[in-house]
Amino acid sequence: MTTEKATFGAGCFWGVEATFRATRGVTNATVGYAGGTTDNPTYEDVCSHATGHAEVVQVEFDPAVVSYQQLLEVFWSNHNPTTLNRQGPDVGDQYRSAIFYHTPEQQAAAEESKASQDRSGRFKQPIVTQIQPAPTFYPAEDYHQRYLEKRGLSHCAV
């Protein structure tokens, strides 16, 4: 089996990770940080707003089972891409909506998908999701991995 990677920022990474883990064809999902200026940031560093990192989930998937386009649909369906640096009660640049693409094909698919979502009327406000090349991914601390699963929860409490 050949897998590919996709990286998404959609607010608190615990719920995003659980959602992608439940997606058929996803072989792994790791929470972490991307898009900032500090090497090997900690959770505390990211929460300080001094590093510029987003909380993200790096998804490994089998493209023979689930397409990147299908993963984009999961992404759009599981957060509000119209709120800048905010998801629900979580506020800060680390909660921004972002797609970090790994290939030119992912970039094209992400840009077309975003434009399609904007045209669809599904969202009342314009989409503010950033689409950028995948930077270095830093896995979050072990206690963040499978956080909700470890606690017997299926989603973040709001």
From the candidates 6, 10, 12, 134, which is the catalytic residue?
Answer: 12
Total-model pTM: 0.93
Instruction: Report, as ranges of residue numbers, the positions in the chain whose pLDDT lies below 70.
Output: 153-158
12 as an active site residue: the answer is: yes
Instruction: Kindly state the tokens that stand for 132.
Output: 């950028």
Burial class (CB in 10 A: 0-12, 13-18, 19+), 110: buried
- Structural domain boundaries in the chain: 4-150
State pLDDT tens for residues 109-154: 999 999 999 999 999 999 999 999 999 999 999 999 998 888 876 5
> Which of 3.40.50.300, 3.40.50.920, 1.10.3720.10, 3.30.1060.10 is the CATH number of 4-150?
3.30.1060.10
Quote the CA–CA distance of 11 and 24 in Å, as a whole number: 22
Quote the CA–CA distance of 71 and 59 in Å, as a whole number: 9
